[in-house]
Amino acid sequence: MNEPMYALQRANGEWLTTEIEGARCLPVFQNAAAAQRVKARVGALMVYLPQPLDTAVLERLRQRLPDLKFWLVDETNPNASLTPGRWLSAQEVVALGGDGDYALTA
């Protein structure tokens, strides 16, 4: 099984969302290490922790934010930014990262 994809979540349960190309999105990362690398470059993200994504978490996010899209952050970009990257569907987030029961809360 693949390692799950990750997103950033605050201790209070709030997920990092942002606007990219005019759409509200959840930045996602290929793995926990990628999330940590980007977090280290973008100082405002220090209050967030990488959390694994699975179908249950994605479903809860979609219920709260029906128009939410998913943005795979390019971790190799040296800039302090969440772009460049590319759009992913919720199905791709699960397929590319596996579908274990990884996350405890959403």
pLDDT tens, 24-79? 999 999 999 999 999 999 989 999 999 999 888 999 999 999 999 999 999 888 88
Please report, in angstroms and rounded to a whole number, the separation of the first and last CA atoms in the chain: 22
Tell me how far apart the alpha carbons of residues 63 and 90 are, in angstroms, rounded to a whole number. Answer: 13
Q: Residue 10, SS3?
A: strand
- The pLDDT value given to residue 1: 53
- The pLDDT value given to residue 106: 39
Q: Residue 3, SS3?
A: coil
pLDDT at residue 82 tops 60: yes
